[in-house]
Amino acid sequence: MTRASSRKTAQPGRRRNWPGYLMIAPAVIAVLALNIYPLFRGIALSFTHYNLVRPNTPIFNTFAGLSNYTKIFSDAKFLQSIGNTVKWTAVNLAAQLVFAMLLALVLNKRLRGRSFFRTMSLVPWAVPHSIAAMTFTFLFNANVGIINILAVKLGLLSEPVSWLGNTQSAFWCVAFVAIWKGIPFQMIFILAALQAISSEIYESAEVDGANQWQQFWRITLPIIKEPLAIATILNLIGIVSCFNTIWLMTEGGPLYSSEIIYTYAYRQGFIVHDLGTASAASMVLFVIMMLISTVYLRLARGDRGVSA
């Protein structure tokens, strides 16, 4: 077949696809407008002098080279926020993974009232971030918070403590809330994967003399590895970009002890009004997320290659 004749045969096919293109057009336009454009605008801004409160300076909206990046990397608060982001991610990820796994294993057993417990375990996930943050802020309150009242009554504390107001405890209190809220998301993925495992495999293993621990490590974990990895990576993105809980509970404080890169970028953008440095900080976060996603995708692809 010649190139001209193949073009002729391809054209009617393309025409037939127009309704399809039209149907996906709103979604494509939405993605381009709300994701792709802001991403490229953000990249451009990170290399631009864009201090909103100095629009009349000659350098405003001009190419800044790497100066925004130099500025943030020489800022002790940004370096502290990187350290906090790493700590925040590690703590949240590890705790959510362990507790979600335990919860999924328990809810996968034949228990009385299993449906009720499964529904109840999803409640934290369904609670909006703002409501959760407000509720826990109230619970941690130094004056009227139930945690302090109980701790003092039980003799664990001599006087109430401002949990969210102290540099040593604020980070951990906010992390606790994020963990509490994040567990159900991870758990539901693991539970779905566990339910797909045939009970016959476990029965065979039992016949072969494998105990519960061996069954978990040799059967359960290898089978659910892939959905677990997907859930983990999705969860990781949510953890790194967690903003609402931190901002509503501590605003990244006190003394930036709970400041992560996301809150730092927000502070630069909306309090300092420097969109250039705010975008540079966001780009650092974006690069970290890209690296994590790339590593995950390579691992996932490698796994599929081996199994094929």
Partner 1 sequence: MKRFLALLLTVAMLAALFCVAATAEELSGELVISVLADWPDETTERGKAFMDAVRAYEEAHPGVTITPQASSQQDIKESFQTAALAGGGPDVVIMDNSGHAIDLAAMGLLLPLNNFISDEELEATYQPGPLNSGKFEGVYYSVPWYMDCCGLYCNNDYLEACGLSVPETWADLENCLAVLKENGYGGIITYRSAYAFYSFFYQNECPVIDTTGEIPEVVIDNEAGTEAWNFICKLITEDNGLVESFKEANTWDKVYESFANGEATFLLGGDWCKSGINGVGTEVNYTITDMVEGKTRATILGGWTWNINVNTKYPELAYDFCRYISSPETYSVLKAAGKHSARTDWDVAAGLSEENQDLVVLGEQFPYTMARPAIINEKTVDEIITNAILTVVYGQANAEDSLAALAQELRDNIVSNYGA
Which positions touch partner 1 (CB under 8 A)? 51-55, 57, 140-144, 159-167, 250-251, 253-255, 270-274
What's the min distance (Å) between Cβ of 162 and partner 1? 4
Copy the structure tokens of residue 237: 């993105």
Smallest distance from partner 1 to CB 258, Å: 12
Q: Supply the minimum distance, in Å, between the C-beta of residue 99 and partner 1.
A: 27
Which of 62/167 has CB closer to partner 1? 167
- Least distance (Å) between residue 71 CB and partner 1: 9
Closest by alpha carbon to 292, among 230, 210, 225, 250? 230
| 36, burial (CB in 10 Å: exposed 0-12, middle 13-18, buried 19+) | exposed
Q: Minimum CB separation from partner 1 for residue 250, in Å?
A: 8
Q: Select 162 or 215, whichever has its Cβ closest to partner 1.
A: 162
How far apart are the C-alpha atoms of 301 and 299, rounded to whole Å?
A: 5
Nearer to partner 1, 176 or 185 (CB): 176
Question: Which of 51, 89 has the CB closer to partner 1?
Answer: 51
Q: How many CA atoms lie within 13 A of 122 on its CB side?
A: 10
Closer to partner 1 by CB, 158 or 198: give it. 158
Q: Which is nearer to partner 1, 142 or 197 (CB)?
A: 142
Closest CB 196 distance from partner 1, rounded Å: 44
User: In Å, how far are 73, 101, 168, 201 from 94, measured between CA atoms?
Assistant: 28, 11, 20, 28
Give the span between the Cα atoms of 235 and 92, in whole angstroms.
Answer: 9
* Spacing of C-alpha 154 from chain mean position: 36
Say if residues 190 and 227 touch (Cβ distance below 8 Å).
yes
In sequence order, what are the beta bridge partners of 274? 51
On whether the CB atoms of residues 201 and 224 are closer than 8 A, the answer is no
Report the nearest approach of partner 1 to the CB of residue 29 (Å): 18
Name, in order, each residue with C-beta under 8 angstroms of 158's C-beta and a sequence gap of 6 or more: 152
CA atoms within 13 A on the CB side of 280: 23
Q: Which two tokens stand for residue 283?
A: 């780009």
In the complex, the smallest distance separating the C-beta of residue 95 from partner 1, rounded to whole angstroms, is 24
| C-alpha–C-alpha distance, residues 130 and 113, integer Å | 30
Q: Which is nearer to partner 1, 76 or 306 (CB)?
A: 76
The residue whose two tokens read 């149907």 is: 23
Choose between 164 and 261: whose C-beta lies nearer to partner 1.
164
